[in-house]
Structure 1
Amino acid sequence: MSVTRCNVEDLNPSRIRTPQPPKALCLADAVTRRRRRRRRRRGDMLHLRNHLLPLLHAATSTASSSPLHLTHRLLSTAARSPFSVEHYLIATCGLTAAQARRASPKLSRLNSSSNPDAVLALLSSSAAGLDSLSLSRADLAAVVAAEPRLLRARPGTIARRIASLRGRANLSAPQIRSFLMSGGAAHLASSDVSPKLAFWVPFLGSFDMLLKILRRCNAILATDVDRVVRPNVALLGECGLGVCDIVQMTQTAAWLLTFNPERLKIVVRRAEELGVPTSSWAFKDAVCTVARNNEGTIAARMEFLRGTLGCSMDKLRSAISRKPSILGFSEKTLRGKIEFLLTKVQLETEYILQRPVMLTLSLDKRLAPRHYVLQALVEKGLIKNDVDYYSCVCFGNEHFVARYIDRHEDALPGLTDAYAAVHAGKSPAQSLTQHLKTDRYRRM
């Protein structure tokens, strides 16, 4: 029997070569160990804080300058909770609790106050130099509540964009403040809008007009000027609209200029199909109306008006060419106005078709209240029965009150207050008839 001899040194564990793990796994293990150590340290600190703080709170009532008090302060600092975005928005930015709750999800990546502090310094009165806008605390709160993501932007980028608003757009510090308060904060956080402001302010005629439009349509500053806005302005100009007409349209429908140019061409073609001449002042209304409603809605609305008024399509088209915006009202609203004019006021269909603007006026605040006032004045013999109803409803409210109510206040006491309540929407129009049927008026 043979025995195999082996070297004792070969059995030494230190000489046995084990396979080494990959380098990536070693790094991953190291990261995992570091994370575990940090969690253990945080757990130990919280455990220590939970056990010592009750004793420290009791000790602070005896001597605020004692070593135990100083230990309490050190432990409180060491165990300080992580950065709270919601608390920062309330304490530093001046937002309400509800505003902070809505804004904090947009700032979830913030883990310190260093970047927001730098941005706020550029906007507030605490910063010295040309880049400061000197916003008050209330203004800062309004700006941050409107666009919280501004606090995530790089301070250097914000400073360059503010300088560009001053230099390229030629805005003063008060104008920049007004711009931010009117919705411009979102654009300051995302891009440099000074080239677009350099176009819009001269085009609209004033910076104040730009602010007015921004409150209604902030998208104009997100639209490419050269590829979208200028071609749309040129297209409307080819239809016969002057610059003043386009600016006037922009005041109520600035979103039209943000359309893709091909889409606006389709809108213009549909407006022309309504029979509204491009040279007519009503063409602006036609473009805005068809832009808000699809072809099916417009066709259904025209068929409804034809059937409700009992007229031919040619006469209806003639009325629409004078006031295309009537196609923008719902069938329910139009039905109420038409039935009131035909049954209560007893107007002829032809009279309404010749004056389609009446269908755009409020039934509860203008058409009905003025009819009931005129009816009462006729019954009392204070005015003749040949007063033109259309002229009365087209008067401004002050003119109508001065001519038909204040003049007859002695004969119909209390009518002024009753009409004012109806016009303000505090009372229904029918309350005027009930008011005029009281015993006091019957005796008179």
Structure 2
Amino acid sequence: MLRLLQNRLYLLLRAATPLLSPTRHRACLLLSTSPAPFSLEGYLVSACGLAPDQARKVSKQAFDEASKVARKPFQDSSRSRLNTASNPDAVLALLSGAGLSRAHIAAVVAADPLILRSSAKAVGPRLLALRDRLGLSSPQIYQFLLVGSRALRSCDVFFISFFGSFENFLLAPKWPTRLLTADLDTRVKPNILLLRRCGLSVRDIVQLCSTEPTLLGLNAERVKDAVLCAEALGVPRTSRTFKYAVAVAACAGKQKVATRLEFLKSALGCSEAEIAVSKMPTILGVSEDQLLPKIQFLLNEVGVEPQCIAKKPALLGYSLEKRLVPRHCAMKLLQSKGLLNTDLPFYSLAKIREQTFRMNFIDRYKDSVPGLADAYAATTAGGVLPGRNGRQGDQGQLGPWKEVTSSDRDEVAADM
């Protein structure tokens, strides 16, 4: 009777939807008389200890990531090593054998569910290397897996050794799949050797990995071209900024670098652009759409000379809406009241850390200038967008500052 009911339900579902979605396809399989397929969502609950809602979310994440890796839709969990519980069981056993608790295993699987389809034969030796070769404790292995489990299932534990210490590895940004799946012998190690021959120290390369983590995973020829491009920009190998010039040339590409350099020359002048790039090559990694409003604001509104921008290119690295515009408004207001030296260069205020700036220039004068703190807080939170030709926007955007200055005029008029 039960089998008859299952068959009828299966036929009804099939007739209703000729082209079944992956979800309904799995539902039909469950209603068939054949053994139920392996369910990743159910396994995450029963074996890994995830809550049902979390398991559903993690399962979807696993399917989405697997689809990206395979470059085609991941129809169901019957692929690869997830067709049965045997491989996931083996992986969980290895994690448990490394000293991870059930709660730790659940957290690791939630962070990277595809670890369950990793080859147990590959994962096992790498876990042993973490413990025996690198001397990591069980808590440290857990910390490593939370941020670098893709390294465990994609490559050797080379990157921990390269970074010099486990602590340095943890400070690195989230590891991109492109780097972790790159071949160590044909890409990563040749790129490191090339950069070392260019005069970069291991520390320099580690710093580059922290800012441009995809660099070592690029094609070796592209990195060679980036070295030549950096030199063509006038950044010598002996310069402390050479490593950043290589990174931006490799990741942005020669064409984009050339285009942005020409843009800077047209906006600032040829010699000024070359000076700025030699001091801060990373500005070539910023799009023209982001650079143009900053340059126009600095030139037209603040009155900064192109030569100053060339000598202090860090100005182009600050946020226009949350740093440059609000600080300029505060500076002009304080100068108008005689509370700030009018000869103080704008760069001196722009480079100060936010907490220090608030303490010395906002909190310090908030009683002397009513509304100053509120106006600054409003603009840094909402952002004051520049208008045409880099000038500040409409009255609504500058409302907080206009209210402060208008109240000052009202006080003056009342005194008269």
TM-score (norm 2): 0.75
Deviation at 1:321, TM superposition (A): 1.2
Deviation at 1:336, TM superposition (A): 0.3
Say if 2:357 is the partner of 1:400. yes
User: Where in structure 2 are there 5+ consecutive unaligned residues?
Assistant: 9-32, 64-73, 386-397
Q: 1:360 aligns with which of 292, 295, 317?
A: 317
1:236-273 deviation digits (Å, cap 9, x = unpaired): 23333333322222221232222333322211001100
Name the counterpart of 2:273.
316
Deviation at 1:419, TM superposition (A): 2.2
Q: Distance in 2 between matches of 1:436 and 1:413?
A: 7
Deviation at 1:82, TM superposition (A): 5.4
Deviation at 1:277, TM superposition (A): 1.8
| Alpha-carbon contact 2:276-2:312 (below 8 Å) kept | yes
Q: 2:227 aligns with which of 268, 280, 294?
A: 268
| Alpha-carbon contact 2:291-2:316 (below 8 Å) kept | yes
Partner SS, residue 274 of structure 2: helix
Name the counterpart of 1:85.
40
User: 1:252 is aligned with what amino acid?
Assistant: T
Partner SS, residue 299 of structure 2: helix
Say if 2:412 is the partner of 1:436. no
| Alpha-carbon contact 2:225-2:250 (below 8 Å) kept | no
Name the counterpart of 2:141.
176
User: 1:85 is aligned with what amino acid?
Assistant: L
Say if 2:10 is the partner of 1:47. no
**Number of equivalenced pairs:** 359
| Alpha-carbon contact 2:265-2:271 (below 8 Å) kept | no
Structural mapping, 1:153-232, within 5 Å = 153=118, 158-184=123-149, 186-189=150-153, 193-194=156-157, 196=158, 200-213=159-172, 215-232=174-191
Deviation at 1:49, TM superposition (A): 8.6
Say if 2:242 is the partner of 1:283. yes
Q: Distance in 1 between matches of 2:36 and 2:309?
A: 72
Q: Distance in 2 between matches of 1:99 and 1:440?
A: 57
Deviation at 1:117, TM superposition (A): 3.8
Q: Distance in 2 between matches of 1:165 and 1:221?
A: 16
Name the counterpart of 1:100.
59
Q: 2:205 aligns with which of 246, 249, 260?
A: 246
Q: CA, structure 1 residues 153+369, in 2 after alignment: closer, same or farther (shift >3 Å)?
A: closer
Q: CA, structure 1 residues 86+247, in 2 after alignment: closer, same or farther (shift >3 Å)?
A: closer
Q: Distance in 1 between matches of 2:210 and 2:345?
A: 33
Name the counterpart of 2:91.
119
1:44-103 deviation digits (Å, cap 9, x = unpaired): 65238999xxxxxxxxxxxxxxxxxxxxxxxxxx99955533322244431432322343
Name the counterpart of 2:116.
151
Q: CA, structure 1 residues 45+154, in 2 after alignment: closer, same or farther (shift >3 Å)?
A: farther
Q: Distance in 2 between matches of 1:254 and 1:153?
A: 23
User: 1:120 is aligned with what amino acid?
Assistant: L
Q: Distance in 1 between matches of 2:121 and 2:310?
A: 62
Q: CA, structure 1 residues 161+251, in 2 after alignment: closer, same or farther (shift >3 Å)?
A: closer
Name the counterpart of 2:299.
342
Deviation at 1:221, TM superposition (A): 4.2
User: 2:298 is aligned with what amino acid?
Assistant: L
Q: CA, structure 1 residues 240+411, in 2 after alignment: closer, same or farther (shift >3 Å)?
A: same
| Alpha-carbon contact 2:302-2:328 (below 8 Å) kept | yes
Moved more, 254-263 or 216-225: 216-225
TM-score (norm 1): 0.71
Q: 1:298 aligns with which of 257, 262, 268?
A: 257
Partner SS, residue 228 of structure 2: helix
Q: CA, structure 1 residues 400+178, in 2 after alignment: closer, same or farther (shift >3 Å)?
A: same
Deviation at 1:202, TM superposition (A): 4.1
Q: CA, structure 1 residues 88+250, in 2 after alignment: closer, same or farther (shift >3 Å)?
A: closer
Partner SS, residue 395 of structure 1: coil
Say if 2:330 is the partner of 1:373. yes
Q: Distance in 1 between matches of 2:186 and 2:369?
A: 62
User: 2:40 is aligned with what amino acid?
Assistant: V
Deviation at 1:182, TM superposition (A): 0.9
User: 1:133 is aligned with what amino acid?
Assistant: G
Moved more, 343-352 or 410-419: 410-419
Say if 2:103 is the partner of 1:133. no
Q: Which gives a bigger RCO, structure 1 or 2 (Cα 8 Å, sep 6+)?
A: 2
User: 1:272 is aligned with what amino acid?
Assistant: E
Q: Distance in 1 between matches of 2:295 and 2:365?
A: 30
Partner SS, residue 181 of structure 1: helix
Quick check: which has more Rg, 1 or 2? 1
Q: Distance in 2 between matches of 1:353 and 1:369?
A: 22
1:10-29 deviation digits (Å, cap 9, x = unpaired): xxxxxxxxxxxxxxxxxxxx
Deviation at 1:329, TM superposition (A): 1.5
Q: Distance in 1 between matches of 2:368 and 2:92?
A: 64
Q: CA, structure 1 residues 442+239, in 2 after alignment: closer, same or farther (shift >3 Å)?
A: farther
Deviation at 1:401, TM superposition (A): 1.8
Identity of aligned residues (%): 40
Q: CA, structure 1 residues 214+305, in 2 after alignment: closer, same or farther (shift >3 Å)?
A: closer
Deviation at 1:178, TM superposition (A): 1.4
